[in-house]
A and B are shown apart, each in its own frame.
Chain A
Amino acid sequence: MAEVLIADDSEFMRNLLREILEEDHTIVGEVENGVEAVEVFTEEHPDLVMMDIVMPIRDGIEATDEIKDTSPDANVVMCTSVGQEEKMKEAVKAGADGYITKPFQKPSVMEAIQDVVPS
């Protein structure tokens, strides 16, 4: 059972992810932007961050970059509606470990998590 931080500006999407994940994992926090994601990551050190890209204040790629700068072993899976190749490359450069494109089905989320944080 992994400890997961959910970073997404959409309440609807946070709820959906929580419902998918909480049966097998522990949700240690839910945040709405990249600044909060970095803060809560620093406090909680979760096993995994599910990170949206398009968020207010600071986007998910910048937040991932900052998290990976201070904690290179952190696991971050981008969970975003953005399906652009250039953006995926930016996510790789920032240190993201996986990439799920919304809309998603539960199996693809579980598979992406399993790839990054094997149980």
Chain B
Amino acid sequence: MKVDVQSLDTFNQLAHEGAEAATRSLTQMTGIEATVDVTRISLLDREDVGEELRGTAFAGVQFGFEGALAGETVLVFEEKRVGDIVEALMPGGCADESMAQSGVEEIGNIMMSGFIDGWAEHLNATIDHTPPTYIEREGAAVVPDGPETGARDQVFVFRSEIEWAGEDVNFYIYMLPGYGSMAELLAEHVDTAGDAIPIEKLAVFNQMTREGAAKAAENVQMMSGIETEAEVAQLSFVPIEDVPRQFGEDTYVGTVVEFTGTPSGFLLVLFDEASAVTVAEALLPVEPDSDGLTEQHESAVTELGNIMTSGFVDGWANVLQQSVDHTPPRLVHDMGQAIIDPLAAQLGRHQRHAFIIDARMQTDEVDFESEIHALPNEQELRAALDELVVDRADQLEADAEQIF
């Protein structure tokens, strides 16, 4: 089965419009002014879905849906904001907890009906959904299991984020269609004469990304002694203009390189400021002269970024039996959106959509978290996937001793 960029775009647009319909329902019912911030389609391992929700308690509603598309979906928000949302729905407050839950269920029901109906309309078919179930769960546990049961099964996830204007409240929609159901749907809509990619190659590429992230994590550990694990690897598809919003307003320190070959593009290795200091100090043989991020820290972070970049892309090159060159790393220290904005603009001259390849690694040992993001040229990524021989996908490492 194959998927093409046009159908990915159509389904991304559908999810975005569904989130907008849900947002309009929210505004009508509660007067809450909200906007859809981000919508993305991702392909990732089931166990990685919702990792970004780690450490926060959520409340919301869950549904199952079936018909032209089958799967599970949730609409959630921070549990501590339930009161604010119920207050908006029923001004004056609601002392009865079961009434508050019922209110949340009803908001969720109406919002998610708007979300699902758009899909049914586009597919010119029926999608039924179950009654809403009120849920309160911690972090990623809020995301439904979906039809797949294996932790390493690949799943398609549609994720939308809705912002309550002027308030620090976000609503998250996760839709997990069954992999088979979604793959069939994508295949039905594929333009076979165009730029279609076999879906299994996307899944294999994702696996290569996970291995690349594991190699990058191994390099961090070898250099710094900080025990590091790759946590998430995913391939997402977003309109190019939405790319900067995926990176938020937090400040990062890290490196950017431009890579050339098949594919070409940009690769970022980013640390939050505290992690940058932690990892740099683990690399430096002597304690730096002053606090904060010194030139010594920056030099160490730059070299670590360089080595992590190679760990990440070398596997692609070896599997594809090509070389992927990259520029020397450029140190960046800025807000996420500001770092990515010029890179997205540069890619946007040639393409309307972007595939973003993300990996995250962290450790419980010390305060350390790092992200790797690759933004390949879309056409060249398709060409690379076209050339990808699935049977070679485990040939990620090269042995210098054999060659020299």
**Cβ A88 vs Cβ B404 within 8 A:** yes
Judge whether A103 and B307 touch: CB under 8 Å. Answer: yes
Q: Nearest Cβ in chain A — how far from B264, in angstroms? A: 15
Is B190's CB within 8 Å of the partner chain A?
no
Q: Which residues of A contact B310 (CB under 8 A)?
A: 80-83, 102
**Partner among B307, B321, B328 whose Cβ is within 8 Å of the Cβ of A102:** B307
Within 8 A of A (CB), among B374-404: 397-398, 400, 403-404
Of all chain A residues, which has the CB nearest B324? A84
Give every chain A residue within 8 A of B326 (Cβ-Cβ). 54
Residues 89-107 of A, flagged 1 when their CB comes within 8 A of B and 0 if not, give: 1101000111111110100
A12 touching B400 in the complex, CB below 8 Å, given contacts A83-B310, A86-B321? no
Asked if B300 and A12 sit within 8 Å, CB to CB, the answer is yes
Among residues of A, the one whose C-beta sits closest to the C-beta of B318 is A85
Closest to A57 in B: B328
B334 beta carbon closer than 8 Å to chain A: no
- Dominant secondary structure of chain A at its interface with chain B: mixed
Q: Using a CB-CB cutoff of 8 Å, which residues 315-367 of chain B contact chain A? A: 317-318, 321-328
- B302 within 8 Å of A (CB atoms): yes
B278 to chain A, nearest CB (A): 16
Interface residues of A in 60-119 (CB under 8 A from B): 80-90, 92, 96-103, 105
- Nearest residue, chain A, Cβ from B285: A19
Given contact pairs A12-B300, A103-B222, A84 touches B403 in the complex (Cβ within 8 A)? no
Residues A84 and B223 in contact, CB atoms below 8 Å apart: no
A12–B323 CA distance with the chains assembled, in angstroms:
26
Query: Would you give the shortest CB distance from B22 to chain A, in whole angstroms?
Result: 46
**Is B400 in contact with A99, judged by CB distance below 8 angstroms?**
yes
Contact of A2 with B by CB under 8 A? no
For the complex, is B101 an interface residue (Cβ under 8 Å from A)? no
Chain B binding surface, main DSSP class: helix
Contact partners of B323 in chain A: CB under 8 A: 84, 86-87, 90
A residues 34-63 near B (Cβ < 8 Å) are 54-56
**A9: contacting residue among B283, B325, B328, B400, CB under 8 A:** B328
Q: In the complex the two chains form, is A89's CB within 8 Å of B403's CB?
A: yes
Question: Known contacts being A19-B285, A88-B398, is A81 close to B306, with CB within 8 Å?
Answer: yes
Q: Count residues of B near A (Cβ-Cβ below 8 Å).
A: 31
A114 to chain B, nearest CB (A): 14
Query: Is the beta-carbon distance between B307 and A54 smaller than 8 angstroms?
Result: no
- The reply to whether A86 and B404 form a contact with Cβ atoms under 8 Å apart is no
Contact flags B46-67 to A (C-beta < 8 A → 1, else 0): 0000000000000000000000
Interchain CA distance A81-B303 in the complex, whole Å:
9
A11 vs B298: C-alpha distance when bound (angstroms)? 10
| Contact in complex: B322, A88 (CB < 8 Å) | no
B311 within 8 A of partner (CB):
yes
- B299 contacts which chain A residues (CB < 8 A)? 10-12
Known: A11-B299, A88-B403. A83 touches B397 (CB 8 A): yes
Once bound together, how far apart are the Cα atoms of A116 and B307, in whole Å? 24
Q: Is A13 an interface residue (CB 8 A)?
A: yes
Q: Are B302 and A10 in contact (CB under 8 A)?
A: yes
- Tell which of A82, A84, A89, A99 has the most Cβ of chain B within 10 Å: A84
Q: A85 contacts which of B296, B302, B398 (Cβ < 8 Å)?
A: B398
The A-contacting residues of B in range 213-246, CB under 8 angstroms, are: 219, 222-223
A56 contacts which chain B residues (CB < 8 A)? 327-328
User: In the complex, A92 Cα to B402 Cα: how many Å?
Assistant: 11
- CA–CA, A86 and B219, complex, Å: 21
A13 to B328, CA, bound (A): 13
- Name the residue on B nearest A102 (C-beta): B307
The 9 A-B pairs of least Cβ separation, nearest first, read: A85-B398, A81-B310, A86-B323, A99-B400, A84-B317, A83-B314, A10-B303, A12-B299, A81-B307
Q: List 25 A-B contacts (CB under 8 A).
A: A10-B299, A10-B303, A12-B299, A12-B300, A12-B303, A19-B285, A54-B325, A56-B327, A80-B310, A81-B309, A83-B318, A83-B398, A85-B317, A85-B403, A88-B398, A88-B400, A88-B403, A88-B404, A90-B323, A92-B404, A99-B404, A101-B400, A102-B307, A102-B310, A103-B307
Besides the contacts A12-B300, A86-B317, what 19 more A-B pairs have beta carbons closer than 8 Å?
A10-B302, A11-B299, A12-B299, A12-B303, A13-B303, A15-B285, A19-B285, A54-B326, A54-B328, A83-B311, A83-B318, A83-B397, A83-B398, A85-B321, A85-B398, A86-B323, A92-B403, A96-B404, A102-B307
